[in-house]
Amino acid sequence: SFNLCGYKNRPLIMGVLNLSPDSFSNVKQIPRNKLHNYIENIINEGAHIIDIGGESTKPNFIDVEDLVEIKRIKRAFKLINKKYSAKIFSIDTRKSSIMLKSLSYGADLINDVSGFDFDKNSLNNISDFKVSKVLHHMQGTPNTMQLKPTYTNVLLDIYDFFEKNIRDKFIGRNIIL
């Protein structure tokens, strides 16, 4: 597993590997025989981290069952372990069961768009793993975040959000903002 602290003074590029057929990206479904080419393209375009997602969180998405999400990401992780073990891979999920499965597959980073709020047990369930986590900000849920978000002062409100969440949830944990 990678220690992302070694990269703290340099920006990293994250390439996105959306494996959900209802993804916001233009990739609707990557055929099994094209997954290797897709990962190679992401790496060749300069990605340091490849973020794997098996459930869309675009506005008006439909929740998928854990087994469906696992099935979508499993083939990517198998290929990664075979050919790309020297790269950094993250899992984009809101569910601790998927986080745990991905860690067993070799994920180096947890990227949860809900800020670890969707699954209230996620931080406790992954606490035994020394893995970095991405903390996101949004108002509401992925389905409601674009419906009239309001701020008193957008920069200060977001700053306050991160300050509170770092203090309340992430003291002593590796996080990426």
* pTM flag (> 0.85): no
pLDDT of residue 4: 57
The whole-number pLDDT of residue 1 equals 46
Pure H helices in 114-177: 122-125, 154-169
Determine the pLDDT at residue 173.
64
Spatial separation of the C-alpha atoms in residues 31 and 36, rounded to whole Å: 10
Q: Please give the Cα distance from 78 to 10 (Å, whole number).
A: 29
CA 134 to CA 169: how far, in whole Å? Answer: 12
Distance, CA of 81 to CA of 65 (rounded, Å): 24
> How confident is the model at residue 56, as a pLDDT?
82
Burial of 120 (0-12, 13-18, 19+ CB in 10 A): exposed
- Beta strands 49-53; 88-92: pairing state: parallel
Pairing assessment for the beta strands 109-112 and 88-92 based on DSSP bridges = parallel
CA distance 63 to 30: 20
Backbone angles phi, psi at 110, to 5 degrees: -110, 125
pLDDT one digit per residue (tens) for the chain, 177 residues: 455 556 667 788 899 898 887 665 555 567 767 888 888 999 999 998 999 999 887 777 778 899 999 999 998 888 888 888 778 899 999 999 999 999 999 999 999 988 898 999 999 999 889 888 888 877 766 666 667 788 899 899 888 888 888 888 776 666 665
